[in-house]
Amino acid sequence: MKINLPHYLMICLFCSVMVGCSKGEDADVNNSNPDPDPDPVESVVYDLTSANDSGVTGTATLIRNSNGTSTILIELENALEGLHPAAVHENSVSEGGPIAITLNDCECQVSETVITQLDDGTSISFDELMVFDGHLLIYQSEQSMDRVIARANIGSNAF
């Protein structure tokens, strides 16, 4: 029996291609349960801008905690010594709105507040805070709550 080498090579090549192109165990074609968020956001930084010529700026960082809570970390620059109340308000800075979340005062230019709910008791997650229609205000002092020294749009208003 005489083997025709070109035909033999074509058959081997065809078999190799067919075996190499089969769906393997690791193939993820038409995955019925894809990860909806393969790289979840762990934190978002909002820039605080000066208000009322205070010269105070800084950042507010929204952090996803491993236990399901969130933290808002405020770091001020150029703030006078003393306590500076802070709060998340509803709506954008330009619209204004009522306080939604009372935060810990900024002491020594820093405030850290763990968030699990709004002031009215409604639970709120990190993902919900990411799209919250709100803004953050830093006040001069407890006695001067009418004077805002720094502010930032947050959540859906920041983008």
State the maximum Cα–Cα separation within the chain, in Å, rounded to a whole number. Answer: 105
For residue 40, pLDDT beyond 50: yes
What pLDDT, on the 0 to 100 scale, is given for residue 21?
43
For residue 30, pLDDT beyond 90: no
Q: Is residue 1 part of a domain?
A: no
Give the residue, 32 or 95, on which the prediction is more confident: 95
For residue 69, the enclosing domain spans 43-158
Q: Is residue 80 part of a domain?
A: yes
CB 123 within 8 A of CB 93: no
pLDDT digits (tens, 9 = 90+) for 76-129: 999 999 999 999 999 999 999 999 999 999 998 999 999 999 999 999 999 999
Chain-centroid distance of CA 68 in Å reads 13
pLDDT digits (tens, 9 = 90+) for 123-158: 999 999 999 999 999 999 999 999 999 999 999 999
Average pLDDT, whole number, for the chain? 85
Q: Is residue 2 part of a domain?
A: no
The CATH number linked to 62 is 2.60.40.200
Q: Is residue 57 part of a domain?
A: yes
Section 66-76 average pLDDT = 97
Q: Please tell me the total count of domains within the chain.
A: 1
Tokens of 123: 């639970």
What pLDDT, on the 0 to 100 scale, is given for residue 55?
98
Q: Is residue 76 part of a domain?
A: yes
Please enumerate in sequence order all residues whose Cβ is within 8 A of that of 98, keeping only pairs 6 or more positions apart, or say none. Answer: 89, 90
Please name which of 156, 155, 153, 157 lies closest in space to residue 47, comparing C-alpha atoms.
Answer: 153
What pLDDT, on the 0 to 100 scale, is given for residue 3?
54
Q: Is residue 71 part of a domain?
A: yes
Q: Is residue 25 part of a domain?
A: no
Q: Is residue 14 part of a domain?
A: no
